[in-house]
Amino acid sequence: MFPGKLSLWCQYESLVMRGESELSASERELIAAYVSGLNACSYCHEAHTVFARAYGIICRHSFGVFKLRSDDKNFAVA
């Protein structure tokens, strides 16, 4: 619909989600999924949940409780 504007958003999103950071890609997807859940955006919540799972985060609850697989980074968000 608005390819020029969408292109800019995609570039920004790529930089934030995949650019250099102290946070891993899985941590960024976890945060994005959680915030999308708080914002009640089911589309974004589901999309970020899929990516979070792909990066090794296991969804333990339908309301967004996640646990990382690696032993040294076990945490949950409720």
Contact predicate 34/64, CB 8 Å:
yes
User: Which residues, including other chains, have CB under 8 Å from residue 2's CB and lie 6 or more apart?
Assistant: none
* H or E stretch covering 68: strand 65-68
Tell me what pLDDT residue 28 has: 92
Segment 26-39, tens digit of pLDDT: 889 989 988 888 88
Quote the mean pLDDT of the chain: 76
Minimum mean pLDDT range among 2-11, 30-39, 45-54, 59-68: 59-68
Does residue 62 surpass a pLDDT of 90? Answer: no
Both tokens of residue 4?
């020029």
| Local confidence band at 72 (pLDDT 50, 70, 90 cut-offs) | very low
